[in-house]
Amino acid sequence: MALAASRQRMRVVLQDRGARWVLAGWTVFTVENLIMSEYKADIKQLWGGAGGPGAYMNFYATLSTAAMGSTVAAYYRFAQHGAQLPAPSAKMRVLAFVFRTTGLAMISQLLPPINLGALSILLGFYEAPKDLPQQVRGQMACPFDFNAYASRGEVYGITRV
Q: What is the pLDDT of residues 17-51, one digit of tens each?
A: 888 888 899 999 999 999 988 888 888 777 766 66
Query: Which amino acid, 150?
Result: A
pLDDT score, position 98: 98
The CB-side HSE value for 147 (13 A sphere, CA atoms) comes to 6
Q: What is the pLDDT of residues 84-118, one digit of tens each?
A: 778 889 999 999 999 999 999 888 777 777 777 77
Q: What is the sign, positive or negative, of the torsion defined by CA atoms of 131, 134, 139, 142? A: positive
Domain ranges of the chain: 2-86, 98-161
Question: Distance between CA atoms of 130 and 23, rounded to whole angstroms?
Answer: 50
* Mean pLDDT to the nearest integer, 140-150: 74
pTM flag (> 0.75): no
pLDDT score, position 122: 72
Q: What is the pLDDT of residues 3-21, one digit of tens each?
A: 787 788 788 878 888 888 8
Question: Distance between CA atoms of 123 and 137, rounded to whole angstroms?
Answer: 15
pLDDT greater at residue 149 or residue 59: 59
| Residue 128 scores a pLDDT above 90 | no
pLDDT score, position 48: 66
Flag the least confident range among 5-9, 52-56, 88-92, 122-126: 52-56
pLDDT score, position 95: 95
Q: Torsion angle of alpha carbons 92, 98, 99, 105, nearest 10°?
A: 160
Task: Specify whether the CB–CB gap between 158 and 146 falls below 8 A.
Answer: yes
Question: Distance between CA atoms of 96 and 110, rounded to whole angstroms?
Answer: 22
Partners of 144 in the β-ladder? 114
Question: Distance between CA atoms of 97 and 89, rounded to whole angstroms?
Answer: 12
3-state secondary structure of 144: strand
Task: Specify whether the CB–CB gap between 45 and 109 falls below 8 A.
Answer: no
Alpha helices in the chain (DSSP H): 2-15, 17-38, 40-47, 54-78, 90-108, 117-122, 134-141, 157-160
